[in-house]
Amino acid sequence: MIGILQSVVKWNATGKDVSIENLNHGFTHVFESTFETKEGLAEYLAHPVHLEFANGFLSSLDKVLVVDFKPTTVDI
């Protein structure tokens, strides 16, 4: 799917929770996608390939958390 939408997806990664803090609230996996622009995200969300995948995949999950954010640099 990402290959088809490569023009709008800047980065894509997935992984399983390995935290020892036990703060995952039952979430076990992460799917992360980064987009150059808000318009790119909107194009991705509306694309028929994404919609077909999401409708099939999401229905097989117990719960889902979606977070859209604009990265911010924090000085520590």
Q: Reduced to 3 states, what is the DSSP secondary structure of residue 12?
A: strand
Cα–Cα dist 28/19, whole Å: 10
Active site residue 44: yes
Categorise residue 25: left if φ over 0, alpha if ψ from -120 to 50, beta otherwise: left
Which of 27, 37, 31 has its CA nearest to residue 12? Answer: 31
**Active-site amino acid positions:** 44, 47
